[in-house]
Chains A and B, each alone.
Chain A
Amino acid sequence: DTGVSQDPRHKITKRGQNVTFRCDPISEHNRLYWYRQTLGQGPEFLTYFQNEAQLEKSRLLSDRFSAERPKGSFSTLEIQRTEQGDSAMYLCASSLTGLIEAFFGQGTRLTVV
């Protein structure tokens, strides 16, 4: 297994369009996290899954954001009606239950123009 992979690596979209990102975690990891990182800031927690169940959502995750992990494997993060403020790096991480260690993907950089 080569680690956590995210697709695409870069996405440029026009304001108002919808975008979807994909994350493939390390295969035996049952926890999957999404974070958002803006320029000059640390990653901010958005949401996490244990298997297919979404256990927590940050208040940063507005109604325009939705995340799924339908079969407890890969996950998607969708942003509807994108705004310029959504421009950021979106990071995915996975871990085994218990938060012993989280492994991060290389992220998807979103630019909304």
Chain B
Amino acid sequence: AQSVTQPDIHITVSEGASLELRCNYSYGATPYLFWYVQSPGQGLQLLLKYFSGDTLVQGIKGFEAEFKRSQSSFNLRKPSVHWSDAAEYFCAVGRDDKIIFGKGTRLHILP
């Protein structure tokens, strides 16, 4: 069974608009949760992580994510996107000593 689901393969938003990328996970306990970003041909950069405590976590580059246990979700948000945010975004869970990734959402930015 897939541990991480990112239902949107592609998302297109206009520069300056708000953004929300969806992520759902399936795991009995509250796992470690991550969002990574990958620019074309590059490795993965960690945007933010959630382990416990405050369910709204702040990350780099103005991103934030909210953990909702009742919905098994960990959605990524940004109030105003920039053209440089165009990339692929991966939600991931940490379980059994490794990180399991979703299939990613590719973000396109319209000028």
Which A residues have a C-beta under 8 Å from some C-beta of B? 4, 31, 33, 35, 40-45, 48, 55-56, 91, 93, 99-107, 109
Can you identify 20 A-B contacts, CB atoms within 8 angstroms? A33-B98, A33-B99, A40-B103, A41-B103, A41-B104, A42-B90, A42-B101, A42-B102, A42-B104, A43-B90, A43-B101, A45-B98, A48-B98, A56-B97, A56-B98, A91-B44, A93-B99, A100-B51, A104-B43, A109-B41
* B46 lies within 8 A of A48 (CB): no
Which of B46, B99, B102 has most chain A Cβ within 10 Å? B99
Docked CA distance A50–B38 (Å): 26
Residues of chain A within 8 A of B92, CB atoms compared = 42
Count A-B pairs with CB separation below 8 Å.
Answer: 54
Main secondary structure of the interface of B (DSSP, over half): strand
5 closest Cβ contacts across the A-B interface? Answer: A42-B101, A106-B43, A104-B44, A104-B43, A99-B94
Docked CA distance A42–B98 (Å): 14
* B103 lies within 8 A of A105 (CB): no
* A101 lies within 8 A of B44 (CB): no
Docked CA distance A45–B101 (Å): 9
* Given A4-B43, A41-B104: 9 more A-B contacts, CB < 8 Å: A35-B101, A42-B104, A45-B98, A45-B100, A56-B96, A102-B46, A103-B46, A104-B45, A106-B43
Using CB atoms, name the residue of chain A closest to B104: A42
Would you list which residues of chain B between 54 and 111 have a CB under 8 Å from chain A? 90, 92, 94, 96-104
Residues of chain A within 8 A of B43, CB atoms compared = 4, 91, 104-107
Q: Which one of A35, A44, A101, A106 lies within 8 Å of B42 (CB-CB)?
A: A106
Residues of chain A within 8 A of B4, CB atoms compared = 42
B32 within 8 A of A: yes
Q: Give chain A nearest CB distance to B101 CB in angstroms.
A: 4
Residues of chain A within 8 A of B90, CB atoms compared = 42-43
Residues of chain A within 8 A of B42, CB atoms compared = 106-107
Residues of chain A within 8 A of B36, CB atoms compared = 104
Q: Give chain B nearest CB distance to A101 CB in angstroms.
A: 6
* A48 lies within 8 A of B97 (CB): yes
